[in-house]
Amino acid sequence: MYSSATFSRYIGRQFVTWFCLLLLILLAIILLLDLVELLRRAGSKPNITFGLVLEMAFLKLPNIGQQIFPFAILFAGMFTFWRLTRNAELVVARAVGVSAWQFLMPVLIAAALIGVFKVTVINPIGAVFIAKYDALESRYLKLRRSSLDISRAGLWLRQNGEREQLFIHAEQVQPITFELSGVTVFRFEGDMNYVGRVDAPRATLKDRKWELAEAVVRRPKKDPEPVGRYTIPTELDKETIEESFAPPETISFWDLPRFIATLESTGFPAVRHRLHYHALLAQPLLFCAMVLFAAAFSLRLPRRGGAMLMVTGGVLTGFVLFIMSDVIRTLGMSETIPVLMAAWAPTAISLLLGTAVLLHLEDG
């Protein structure tokens, strides 16, 4: 017996409806709590109005909302299956030969489509909003004008050219004009053969090129040669360098591959950006895993009793899985395990566990 298209659409519509309702409720609660927290932080800061705080709260909401999507999928799935089972709709479907996997399919498809929509549409919008939020937070709450942060060792850049590789070091960076101070450019050719360096008291990034003022070129076994102005073409701009110090959440899903390639070619660490990118790719499958857990903890409630215990177990399982995800991603960030494993392992484990539990309950 196969499930009819009408019945599949009905179950899928029920799931999507409850997902939207739960998501709106959770977003409203988060917005209220975040607004209170921002008001507390803004209490001692000058030139901050309630309108600005409210704007910051709304700008931050899409980014936080993306983090609760899996919980909304889990709760919506549990409530959908519990309601259909309580109303005996799934009991009748089973009686006419429709298996659990058949009426699970529309919910799995809906969850996967929600994941694709979240990654391809909501994530880019949220990246724009959270970038604006970070700028307002830095300016009004942290009283900073730039998100650029330089370590005690200064700023290091690597740049690959057609014939040579450059390592640019600056002792200090002026965030507003992006003028480098105490600049040294180390030049290498071929298989890292040192061919000289360029020293300059300052350098400025303009129109995709570094302009070094009062530069001195030094070559092995030759006297230093003052050249005045020295120009180095580059693929970088100020925004790219600043974004490299910003969280990967502020970069759109569609821009991440190009941005990761730029970071790696210029010597910036791209581990967290690659981890974030692959975690986004895995999210549609993660949402499907949440549906499997929701089904395992809610489909057989009326016959076996212990509804509250099983629902509580499902919720706790969801939280345990997310804690496990954070631990694995932390290992990935420290490069203890490969980035691909850190990004995809939580999803793979969730899918395997959810499928195994559901197979045991339905077919075992």
Contact 286, 346 (CB under 8 A): yes
Lowest model confidence (mean pLDDT) among 87-91, 109-113, 325-329: 87-91
pLDDT at 31: 94
- The answer for 350, left when phi > 0, alpha when psi is -120 to 50, beta otherwise, is alpha
Q: How far is CA 296 from CA 106, 111, 257, in A?
A: 16, 16, 37
pLDDT at 60: 93
pLDDT at 156: 76
Which of these three, 245, 278, 312, is where a domain ends? 245
Mean pLDDT across 184-196:
85
- The answer to whether residues 16 and 135 belong to one domain is yes
Mean pLDDT across 191-219:
87
Q: How far apart are CA 198 and CA 230, in angstroms?
A: 9
The answer, yes or no, to whether residue 1 has pLDDT greater than 50, is no
Mean pLDDT across 171-185:
79
- In which band, very low, low, confident or very high, does the pLDDT at 126 lie, cut at 50, 70 and 90? very high
- The answer to whether residues 332 and 285 belong to one domain is yes
- The answer to whether residues 94 and 190 belong to one domain is no
- The answer to whether residues 38 and 101 belong to one domain is yes
pLDDT at 321: 82
Residue 345 lies in a domain: yes
Pairing of strands 225-233, 164-174: unpaired
The answer, yes or no, to whether residue 143 has pLDDT greater than 90, is no
pLDDT in tens, 248-295: 888 889 988 888 887 776 666 788 889 999 999 999 999 999 999 888
pLDDT at 220: 86
pLDDT at 3: 57
Residue 258 lies in a domain: no
- The answer to whether residues 327 and 234 belong to one domain is no
The domain tally of the chain equals 2
Residue 255 lies in a domain: no
pLDDT in tens, 229-244: 888 888 777 666 665 6
Global pTM value: 0.76
pLDDT at 290: 92
pLDDT at 149: 46
Lowest model confidence (mean pLDDT) among 60-74, 303-317, 331-345: 303-317
- The answer to whether residues 133 and 166 belong to one domain is no
Q: How far is CA 263 from CA 27, 78, 349, 356, in A?
A: 34, 42, 31, 41
pLDDT in tens, 77-89: 988 988 888 877 7
Which of these three, 245, 278, 309, is where a domain ends? 245
Which residue range(s) make up the domain with 65?
A: 5-143+270-362
pLDDT at 168: 84
Residue 301 lies in a domain: yes
Pairing of strands 155-160, 179-189: unpaired
What mean pLDDT, rounded, does the chain reach? Answer: 83
- The answer to whether residues 121 and 177 belong to one domain is no
- In which band, very low, low, confident or very high, does the pLDDT at 145 lie, cut at 50, 70 and 90? very low
pLDDT in tens, 11-23: 999 999 999 999 9
pLDDT at 192: 76
pLDDT at 244: 60
pLDDT at 144: 55
pLDDT at 146: 47
The answer, yes or no, to whether residue 42 has pLDDT greater than 50, is yes
Residue 319 lies in a domain: yes
Handedness of CA 76, 77, 79, 80 (dihedral sign): positive
- The answer to whether residues 84 and 10 belong to one domain is yes
Q: What is the CA radius of gyration of the chain?
A: 27
The answer, yes or no, to whether residue 62 has pLDDT greater than 60, is yes
Residue 252 lies in a domain: no
The answer, yes or no, to whether residue 147 has pLDDT greater than 50, is no
Which strands sit side by side in the sheet containing 164-174, from one edge to the other?
Answer: 155-160, 164-174, 179-189, 193-206, 209-218, 225-233
pLDDT at 91: 73
151 DSSP 8-state letter: B
- The answer to whether residues 165 and 301 belong to one domain is no
Compute the CA torsion angle 243, 244, 250, 251 (nearest 10 deg).
Answer: 100
